[in-house]
Protein backbone atom coordinates (compact mmCIF):
# COMPACT_ATOMS: atom_id res chain seq x y z
CA UNK A 1 0.00 0.00 0.00
CA UNK A 2 1.59 3.26 -1.11
CA UNK A 3 2.09 5.66 1.78
CA UNK A 4 0.41 8.81 0.39
CA UNK A 5 -2.43 7.20 -1.54
CA UNK A 6 -5.02 9.61 -0.09
CA UNK A 7 -3.48 12.77 -1.50
CA UNK A 8 -6.25 14.84 -3.07
CA UNK A 9 -8.88 13.22 -0.84
CA UNK A 10 -10.78 14.79 2.04
CA UNK A 11 -11.91 12.88 5.13
CA UNK A 12 -14.48 13.78 7.78
CA UNK A 13 -14.12 11.89 11.05
CA UNK A 14 -16.78 12.60 13.64
CA UNK A 15 -15.76 12.50 17.27
CA UNK A 16 -12.11 12.94 16.33
CA UNK A 17 -10.62 15.13 19.04
CA UNK A 18 -9.73 12.12 21.19
CA UNK A 19 -9.66 8.34 21.44
CA UNK A 20 -10.51 6.14 18.47
CA UNK A 21 -11.63 9.06 16.32
CA UNK A 22 -8.36 10.92 16.78
CA UNK A 23 -6.40 7.77 15.94
CA UNK A 24 -8.45 7.25 12.77
CA UNK A 25 -7.98 10.87 11.72
CA UNK A 26 -4.23 10.59 12.29
CA UNK A 27 -4.05 7.47 10.12
CA UNK A 28 -5.89 9.14 7.25
CA UNK A 29 -3.81 12.32 7.56
CA UNK A 30 -0.61 10.28 7.42
CA UNK A 31 -1.70 8.93 4.03
CA UNK A 32 -2.14 12.45 2.65
CA UNK A 33 -5.82 13.18 3.22
CA UNK A 34 -7.11 16.58 4.19
CA UNK A 35 -8.98 16.07 7.45
CA UNK A 36 -12.17 17.63 8.76
CA UNK A 37 -11.91 17.19 12.52
CA UNK A 38 -15.14 17.14 14.50
CA UNK A 39 -16.24 16.99 18.11
CA UNK A 40 -17.76 18.81 21.04
CA UNK A 41 -14.50 20.40 22.09
CA UNK A 42 -12.95 23.46 23.62
CA UNK A 43 -11.05 25.78 21.30
CA UNK A 44 -7.80 24.41 22.76
CA UNK A 45 -8.83 20.79 22.08
CA UNK A 46 -9.94 21.64 18.56
CA UNK A 47 -6.74 23.53 17.78
CA UNK A 48 -4.62 20.69 19.17
CA UNK A 49 -6.40 18.10 17.02
CA UNK A 50 -6.04 20.21 13.87
CA UNK A 51 -2.37 20.80 14.63
CA UNK A 52 -1.85 17.06 15.07
CA UNK A 53 -3.35 16.37 11.64
CA UNK A 54 -0.91 18.74 9.99
CA UNK A 55 2.04 17.39 11.95
CA UNK A 56 1.39 13.82 10.78
CA UNK A 57 0.98 14.76 7.13
CA UNK A 58 -2.41 16.30 6.30
CA UNK A 59 -2.05 19.00 3.62
CA UNK A 60 -4.85 20.85 5.40
CA UNK A 61 -7.10 20.33 8.40
CA UNK A 62 -10.05 22.20 9.83
CA UNK A 63 -12.35 21.84 12.80
CA UNK A 64 -16.08 21.51 12.31
CA UNK A 65 -18.34 21.58 15.35
CA UNK A 66 -21.83 20.08 15.46
CA UNK A 67 -23.96 18.51 18.16
CA UNK A 68 -24.72 15.05 16.74
CA UNK A 69 -28.06 15.04 18.55
CA UNK A 70 -29.30 17.88 16.33
CA UNK A 71 -30.10 17.18 12.66
CA UNK A 72 -29.98 20.86 11.70
CA UNK A 73 -26.49 21.21 13.15
CA UNK A 74 -25.32 18.10 11.29
CA UNK A 75 -26.76 19.38 8.01
CA UNK A 76 -25.01 22.71 8.43
CA UNK A 77 -21.72 20.95 9.16
CA UNK A 78 -22.09 18.71 6.12
CA UNK A 79 -22.79 21.66 3.86
CA UNK A 80 -19.63 23.33 5.16
CA UNK A 81 -17.54 20.20 4.59
CA UNK A 82 -18.98 19.78 1.09
CA UNK A 83 -18.14 23.39 0.31
CA UNK A 84 -14.60 22.67 1.51
CA UNK A 85 -14.35 19.87 -1.04
CA UNK A 86 -15.31 16.74 0.82
CA UNK A 87 -15.91 14.26 2.15
CA UNK A 88 -14.46 11.51 0.01
CA UNK A 89 -14.10 9.50 3.20
CA UNK A 90 -16.69 9.67 5.99
CA UNK A 91 -16.02 8.01 9.31
CA UNK A 92 -18.90 8.09 11.76
CA UNK A 93 -17.14 7.57 15.05
CA UNK A 94 -18.98 9.92 17.43
CA UNK A 95 -20.71 7.94 20.13
CA UNK A 96 -21.97 7.98 23.69
CA UNK A 97 -22.77 5.19 26.09
CA UNK A 98 -24.31 4.89 29.54
CA UNK A 99 -25.21 1.64 31.23
CA UNK A 100 -28.59 1.18 32.88
CA UNK A 101 -31.13 -1.61 33.12
CA UNK A 102 -33.98 -1.55 30.65
CA UNK A 103 -36.46 -0.27 33.22
CA UNK A 104 -34.06 2.43 34.42
CA UNK A 105 -33.37 3.91 30.98
CA UNK A 106 -35.00 7.34 30.76
CA UNK A 107 -36.61 8.75 27.65
CA UNK A 108 -33.86 11.36 27.43
CA UNK A 109 -31.07 8.79 27.69
CA UNK A 110 -32.69 6.62 25.02
CA UNK A 111 -33.17 9.59 22.68
CA UNK A 112 -29.62 10.90 23.15
CA UNK A 113 -27.88 7.55 22.59
CA UNK A 114 -29.97 6.74 19.52
CA UNK A 115 -29.44 10.24 18.14
CA UNK A 116 -25.66 10.29 18.46
CA UNK A 117 -24.88 6.66 17.69
CA UNK A 118 -27.41 5.99 14.91
CA UNK A 119 -29.33 9.00 13.63
CA UNK A 120 -26.18 11.11 13.41
CA UNK A 121 -24.67 8.61 10.98
CA UNK A 122 -27.84 8.63 8.89
CA UNK A 123 -27.74 12.41 8.59
CA UNK A 124 -24.07 12.51 7.55
CA UNK A 125 -24.42 9.62 5.10
CA UNK A 126 -27.47 11.02 3.33
CA UNK A 127 -25.48 14.16 2.51
CA UNK A 128 -22.10 12.56 1.79
CA UNK A 129 -22.99 9.56 -0.37
CA UNK A 130 -24.51 11.52 -3.28
CA UNK A 131 -21.32 13.61 -3.41
CA UNK A 132 -19.21 10.44 -3.51
CA UNK A 133 -21.39 9.12 -6.33
CA UNK A 134 -20.38 12.09 -8.49
CA UNK A 135 -16.71 11.08 -8.45
CA UNK A 136 -16.96 7.29 -8.32
CA UNK A 137 -14.86 7.02 -5.17
CA UNK A 138 -16.13 7.08 -1.63
CA UNK A 139 -15.64 5.40 1.69
CA UNK A 140 -18.05 5.32 4.60
CA UNK A 141 -16.75 3.57 7.69
CA UNK A 142 -19.14 3.48 10.62
CA UNK A 143 -17.59 2.68 13.95
CA UNK A 144 -20.21 0.39 15.43
CA UNK A 145 -19.23 -1.97 18.24
CA UNK A 146 -19.16 -5.59 19.14
CA UNK A 147 -22.58 -4.60 20.51
CA UNK A 148 -23.74 -4.19 16.94
CA UNK A 149 -23.33 -7.97 16.65
CA UNK A 150 -24.17 -9.31 20.11
CA UNK A 151 -26.04 -7.96 23.11
CA UNK A 152 -25.13 -7.36 26.74
CA UNK A 153 -27.24 -6.55 29.77
CA UNK A 154 -27.79 -2.92 30.85
CA UNK A 155 -27.07 -1.52 27.38
CA UNK A 156 -30.46 -1.45 25.65
CA UNK A 157 -30.11 1.96 23.94
CA UNK A 158 -26.48 1.39 22.94
CA UNK A 159 -27.07 -2.13 21.57
CA UNK A 160 -30.17 -0.96 19.72
CA UNK A 161 -28.25 1.92 18.14
CA UNK A 162 -25.27 -0.20 17.12
CA UNK A 163 -27.38 -3.02 15.67
CA UNK A 164 -29.24 -0.32 13.75
CA UNK A 165 -25.97 1.18 12.52
CA UNK A 166 -24.88 -2.18 11.10
CA UNK A 167 -28.24 -2.51 9.32
CA UNK A 168 -28.14 1.05 7.99
CA UNK A 169 -24.63 0.47 6.65
CA UNK A 170 -25.66 -2.68 4.82
CA UNK A 171 -28.56 -0.93 3.14
CA UNK A 172 -26.32 1.93 2.00
CA UNK A 173 -23.69 -0.56 0.81
CA UNK A 174 -26.25 -2.25 -1.42
CA UNK A 175 -27.59 1.01 -2.81
CA UNK A 176 -24.14 2.29 -3.83
CA UNK A 177 -22.33 -0.99 -4.61
CA UNK A 178 -22.47 -0.72 -8.40
CA UNK A 179 -21.17 2.84 -8.64
CA UNK A 180 -17.61 3.63 -9.59
CA UNK A 181 -15.03 1.17 -10.87
CA UNK A 182 -12.34 -1.19 -9.65
CA UNK A 183 -9.54 1.14 -10.75
CA UNK A 184 -11.26 4.18 -9.29
CA UNK A 185 -12.01 2.45 -6.01
CA UNK A 186 -15.79 2.45 -6.08
CA UNK A 187 -18.01 3.39 -3.17
CA UNK A 188 -18.08 1.18 -0.10
CA UNK A 189 -19.89 1.30 3.22
CA UNK A 190 -18.65 -0.82 6.11
CA UNK A 191 -18.78 -1.10 9.86
CA UNK A 192 -15.96 -1.74 12.28
CA UNK A 193 -17.06 -3.47 15.47
CA UNK A 194 -14.48 -3.04 18.24
CA UNK A 195 -14.56 -4.96 21.48
CA UNK A 196 -12.74 -3.67 24.54
CA UNK A 197 -10.61 -0.73 23.41
CA UNK A 198 -8.52 1.63 25.52
CA UNK A 199 -10.72 4.74 25.40
CA UNK A 200 -12.45 7.09 27.81
CA UNK A 201 -15.89 5.61 27.03
CA UNK A 202 -15.11 2.43 28.98
CA UNK A 203 -13.77 4.19 32.07
CA UNK A 204 -17.12 4.23 33.97
CA UNK A 205 -17.41 0.47 33.55
CA UNK A 206 -13.83 -0.02 34.73
CA UNK A 207 -14.43 2.17 37.78
CA UNK A 208 -17.66 0.35 38.63
CA UNK A 209 -16.00 -3.07 38.31
CA UNK A 210 -13.04 -2.00 40.43
CA UNK A 211 -15.44 -0.95 43.19
CA UNK A 212 -17.42 -4.16 42.80
CA UNK A 213 -14.40 -6.46 43.17
CA UNK A 214 -12.44 -4.21 45.50
CA UNK A 215 -9.45 -4.24 43.20
CA UNK A 216 -7.23 -2.00 41.11
CA UNK A 217 -7.94 -0.61 37.64
CA UNK A 218 -5.85 -3.42 36.10
CA UNK A 219 -7.81 -5.97 38.12
CA UNK A 220 -11.06 -4.45 36.88
CA UNK A 221 -9.95 -4.59 33.22
CA UNK A 222 -8.86 -8.21 33.64
CA UNK A 223 -12.21 -9.09 35.21
CA UNK A 224 -14.22 -7.38 32.46
CA UNK A 225 -12.26 -8.97 29.63
CA UNK A 226 -12.40 -12.43 31.19
CA UNK A 227 -16.19 -12.37 30.80
CA UNK A 228 -16.31 -11.59 27.09
CA UNK A 229 -13.01 -11.25 25.20
CA UNK A 230 -11.09 -14.53 24.89
CA UNK A 231 -7.82 -12.85 23.97
CA UNK A 232 -7.96 -10.97 27.31
CA UNK A 233 -6.19 -8.11 25.52
CA UNK A 234 -7.65 -4.69 24.86
CA UNK A 235 -7.17 -3.07 21.47
CA UNK A 236 -5.42 0.26 20.99
CA UNK A 237 -7.13 3.08 19.08
CA UNK A 238 -4.29 3.06 16.51
CA UNK A 239 -5.28 -0.48 15.53
CA UNK A 240 -8.76 0.73 14.64
CA UNK A 241 -7.19 3.56 12.65
CA UNK A 242 -5.07 1.10 10.68
CA UNK A 243 -8.15 -0.86 9.62
CA UNK A 244 -9.98 2.27 8.49
CA UNK A 245 -6.93 3.26 6.44
CA UNK A 246 -6.86 -0.15 4.78
CA UNK A 247 -10.58 0.08 3.93
CA UNK A 248 -9.95 3.49 2.34
CA UNK A 249 -7.51 2.04 -0.20
CA UNK A 250 -8.79 1.46 -3.76
CA UNK A 251 -7.89 -2.24 -3.49
CA UNK A 252 -10.69 -2.59 -0.91
CA UNK A 253 -13.27 -1.78 -3.61
CA UNK A 254 -15.12 -5.07 -3.16
CA UNK A 255 -15.30 -4.99 0.62
CA UNK A 256 -18.69 -3.44 1.30
CA UNK A 257 -21.59 -4.19 3.61
CA UNK A 258 -19.21 -5.84 6.09
CA UNK A 259 -19.26 -5.61 9.87
CA UNK A 260 -15.69 -6.36 10.86
CA UNK A 261 -15.07 -7.29 14.50
CA UNK A 262 -11.89 -6.34 16.33
CA UNK A 263 -12.89 -8.20 19.46
CA UNK A 264 -10.32 -10.81 20.45
CA UNK A 265 -12.71 -13.66 19.60
CA UNK A 266 -15.74 -12.26 21.48
CA UNK A 267 -18.22 -12.87 18.66
CA UNK A 268 -16.62 -16.19 17.68
CA UNK A 269 -18.01 -17.82 20.82
Nearest Cα neighbor of 134 from 190, 180, 75, 79 is 180
Catalytic residue among 137, 158, 176, 196: 158
Q: Is 158 a catalytic residue?
A: yes
Q: Which of 95, 85, 93 is nearest to 33 (CA)?
A: 85
The DSSP line for the chain is --TTTTTT-EEEETT-SSHHHHHHHHHHHHTT-EEEEE-S--HHHHHHHHHHHHHHT-S-EEEE---TT-HHHHHHHHHHHHHHT--SEEEE-------B-GGG--HHHHHHHHIIIIIHHHHHHHHHHHHHHHHTEEEEEEE--GGGTS--TTBHHHHHHHHHHHHHHHHHHHHHTTSS-TTT-EEEEEEEEE-SBSSGGGHHHHHHHHHHHT--HHHHHHHHHHHH-TT--PBPHHHHHHHHHHHHSGGGTT--S-EEEESTTGGG-
Q: Active-site positions? A: 158
Amino acid sequence: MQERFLEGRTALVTGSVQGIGLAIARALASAGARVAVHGLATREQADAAVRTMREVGAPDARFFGADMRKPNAIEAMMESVISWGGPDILVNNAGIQQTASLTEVTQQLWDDILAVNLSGAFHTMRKALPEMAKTGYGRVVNVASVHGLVASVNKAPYVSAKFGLVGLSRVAALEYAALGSRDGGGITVNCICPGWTETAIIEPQITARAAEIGGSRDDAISSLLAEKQPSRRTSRPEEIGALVLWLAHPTAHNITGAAIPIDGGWTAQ
